[in-house]
C-alpha cells in the first residue's frame, strides 16, 4: 500500500507528477482521503517552513499551492462523506484599487491547507463587499491584501465600513502585502499584519484558538 509519507515528501519537494500519481495510487489502494489530505497539509507546513528559511521562493509557494489544489480535487469525492472539521471561516480579498492576486492566492491556499474555510472575493474588492461576505458567511476573520500604497486607504475604508455595520468588535482583521508593516497596520486600524502566508495561518489559528 502506498505510504502517505511519500505523498508528503513529493508535495514538499514540489514534485507535481509524483504527488498526483501517489495520491491516485493511494486512493485506488483504499487509503482514506482524509489521511492523504493530512499528509498534504503537513507538506504545506513544510513548504512554509522552507520559505521562512529562505530555501524556497514565492514561485515555489505558488507551485505548492497549485499541486495542493490538484490533489484536493482528486480527494474531493472521498472527503464529502467524512469531511474534516473546519477550524473556522476567513473572508479574504485584495482591496479596491488593487488587482494583484499572487500574494492573495498564496495566503488563501495556505489557509485552506490549514483546514480553514476561505471565502475568496478576488481582487479590487470594495469595502461593502467585504462586509456583505462577512455577514453572509458568518466568518469571524477578515484578511485584506494590497501591493500598492493606495491600498492602505481602501483597507482603512473597509474597517470603517465594518464599524458602521456594527461588526468591528466581532471581526479580527489581518492585512498583508509588500508595503505593509506595523505602521500601516496601525494606520488602517487592523488587528495584526503578516509578511508571509505562514504568519497569516498562525494569526488565524491563534484567533480561533486552534493549536496547530
Q: What is the pLDDT of residues 153-210, one digit of tens each?
A: 999 999 999 999 999 999 999 999 989 999 999 999 999 999 888 899 999 999 998 7
**Containing structural domain, residue 50:** 4-79
pLDDT digits over 21-49, tens only? 999 999 999 998 889 988 998 998 899 88
Q: Give the predicted TM-score (pTM) of the model.
A: 0.76
Which residue, 28, 59, 79, sits at the end of a domain?
A: 79
Q: 119: which residues sit within 8 A by CB, 6+ positions away? A: 89, 90, 91, 92, 133, 137, 139
Question: Over the chain, what is the mean pLDDT?
Answer: 91
The reply to whether 43 falls in a domain is: yes
User: Is residue 3 scored above 50 in pLDDT?
Assistant: yes
The reply to whether 84 falls in a domain is: no
CATH number at residue 112: 3.40.50.280
CB 156, CB 188: distance < 8 Å:
yes
Residues 117 and 37 reside in one and the same domain: no
* Nearest of 39, 115, 44, 42 to residue 83 by alpha carbon: 115
Residues 42 and 105 reside in one and the same domain: no
pLDDT digits over 47-75, tens only? 988 988 999 998 998 899 899 989 988 88
- Gap between the Cα atoms of 90 and 101, Å rounded: 17
Amino acid at each position: 500500500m502506498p505510504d502517505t509519507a511519500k505523498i508528503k515528501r513529493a508535495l514538499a519537494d514540489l514534485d507535481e507528477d509524483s504527488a498526483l500519481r501517489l495520491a491516485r495510487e493511494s486512493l485506488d489502494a483504499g487509503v482514506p482521503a482524509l489521511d492523504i489530505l493530512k499528509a498534504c497539509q503537513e507538506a504545506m507546513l513544510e513548504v512554509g517552513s522552507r520559505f521562512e528559511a529562505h530555501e524556497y521562493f514565492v514561485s515555489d509557494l505558488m507551485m505548492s499551492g497549485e499541486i495542493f489544489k490538484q490533489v484536493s480535487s482528486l480527494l474531493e469525492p472521498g472527503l464529502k462523506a467524512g469531511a474534516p472539521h473546519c477550524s473556522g471561516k476567513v473572508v479574504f480579498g485584495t482591496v479596491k484599487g488593487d488587482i494583484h492576486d499572487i500574494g492573495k492566492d498564496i495566503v488563501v491556499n495556505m489557509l485552506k491547507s490549514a483546514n480553514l474555510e476561505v471565502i475568496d472575493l478576488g481582487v479590487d474588492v470594495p469595502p461593502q463587499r467585504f462586509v456583505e461576505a462577512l455577514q453572509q458567511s458568518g466568518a469571524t476573520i477578515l484578511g485584506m491584501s494590497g501591493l500598492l500604497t493606495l491600498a492602505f486607504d481602501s483597507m482603512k475604508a473597509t474597517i470603517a465600513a465594518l464599524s458602521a455595520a456594527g461588526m468591528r468588535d466581532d471581526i479580527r482583521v489581518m492585512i498583508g502585502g509588500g508595503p505593509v508593516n506595523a505602521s500601516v497596520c496601525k494606520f488602517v486600524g487592523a488587528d495584526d499584519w503578516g509578511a508571509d502566508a505562514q504568519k497569516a495561518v498562525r494569526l488565524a489559528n491563534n484567533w480561533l484558538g486552534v493549536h496547530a
